[in-house]
A and B are shown apart, each in its own frame.
Chain A
């Protein structure tokens, strides 16, 4: 009962804040400003109501290569259809893509306001994180090419580049500053601890992680573990994608994880696992043996909604 009262109070606060903001914008005719980003978890409808009120954006002096109309279109599309988040061909943005997919389900209004603040002001703060992207990032965002649909999604370009610029792990130590093309190199890579750190700081979830960059989780039955966790939360897997989606015929490969995916559904019959996951703007169903599944999974991160932020 107490939690219901608490939720109702939160809804009222959010609604009031949103109404005040929209009224202020109607009066001033200016672009919408952020609404308490990150303090509470929001719904998709709130985020839709927010972004659909924005008819036009002015170009931002901070991001010279971002076309405002494309930015707005991309942002609206992400809010309406989180599945469409696409990390780009050949980039090392998959961790940021998975994070964004979760972000858009956890706090889409927070995502929208954060990206708009970043766009308008060139920097932004969200919960305790202060994003202040480098000049090289600001120059590059909107101008990434030959990455498939990411080419025409400048909001995602700006966001992924900002995340990669802000968060550093040991894989980034030898390439800390962005140069053209670094989105495909170690500059953008994310190790498992870095991914978990990002989600801890940006999402309103409690999380539990098992596994490591070079060691698989020690579990008797990995299928049982993941399927149990999926009943109560969201599961992200850190997998060795090079043996799942082969790109060459080299038989001896390093057993290292390379890719983050969000588990959507899992079932097993006759030792064959049917697994549906999200990555790269779509959902995929894969059928693999339990032994192969065990071979590819290096990290299992399990997110549960924090009670105080539950919808």
Chain B
């Protein structure tokens, strides 16, 4: 009897752990939410050239957000409650597309996207940019995965990967490219993921 109980408990623990494991989340998450994620990326890509900005949710309940507006001389960092009128006023003051950014914020909120930003990287001494998005999926709220974030990178052009699907520096150099200190894995030619302990 104790042996049977042990087997059942072991099985349940395994199911619990694997169902919430970062690996499982990573494999499926992008495809399950592809439309919403790509829509956020597309909106951000369109809005950014009108006035560079980044958005991040800084509270666990996704009620506070940090807005960074980047100008030639200064970066302005603000923190708002998600429904605060000051948010829209600020966006308008900087002549940003307040309505579309507000929609973007709502879409980010709905999918628990914690951060979106452009990030620079260098290939053959030339500057390139990618869009970096962090998500805190509900499943990653499980015990032992408290501080895990699903980080996606959207590259503007196809990338190179090794046989294990890890992002490479470039074709001629068989060196893993790290982004914010993390090794990323292939989802498709232009999109990669990593599961990390921080959202930016």
Contact = CB atoms under 8 A, between A and B. Distances in A.
A245 B73 CA distance: 20
Contacts of B119: 148
B77 A149 contact: no
Given A146-B121, A184-B181, A284 B199 contact: no
Contacts of A286: 77
Nearest to B122: A151
Interface string B157-174: 000000000000100000
Interface in B115-173: 119-122, 125, 127, 136, 146-147, 149, 169
Nearest to A247: B198
Given A152-B125, A283-B75, A248 B199 contact: yes
Given A249-B60, A250-B147, A146 B178 contact: yes
Contact of A282 (B60, B75, B146): B75
B74 interface: yes
B175 to A, nearest CB: 8
A247 B199 contact: yes
Contacts of B58: 246, 249
A145 to B, nearest CB: 7
Nearest to A89: B180
A90 B179 CA distance: 9
A70 interface: yes
Q: How large is the interface on A (under 10, 10 to 19, 20 to 34, 35 or more residues)?
A: 20 to 34
Interface in A235-284: 245-251, 276, 282-284
Q: How large is the interface on B (under 10, 10 to 19, 20 to 34, 35 or more residues)?
A: 20 to 34
Contacts of B81: none
Nearest to B169: A145
A287 B75 contact: no
Contacts of A89: 180
B6 interface: no
B59 A249 contact: yes
Contacts of B125: 70, 151-152
Which 3 A-B residue pairs are closest in the complex by CB-CB distance? A247-B198, A249-B60, A151-B122
Interface of B: 56, 58-60, 66, 73-78, 114, 119-122, 125, 127, 136, 146-147, 149, 169, 175, 177-181, 197-200
Given A149-B122, A247-B200, A248-B197, 12 more contacts: A145-B169, A146-B179, A146-B181, A149-B127, A151-B121, A151-B122, A152-B125, A247-B198, A283-B74, A284-B76, A285-B75, A286-B77
Interface of A: 70, 89-90, 145-146, 148-149, 151-152, 184, 245-251, 276, 282-287
25 contacts: A70-B125, A145-B169, A145-B178, A146-B177, A146-B181, A148-B122, A149-B122, A151-B121, A151-B122, A151-B125, A152-B122, A184-B181, A246-B66, A247-B200, A248-B147, A248-B199, A249-B60, A249-B114, A250-B147, A283-B74, A284-B75, A284-B76, A284-B77, A285-B74, A287-B78
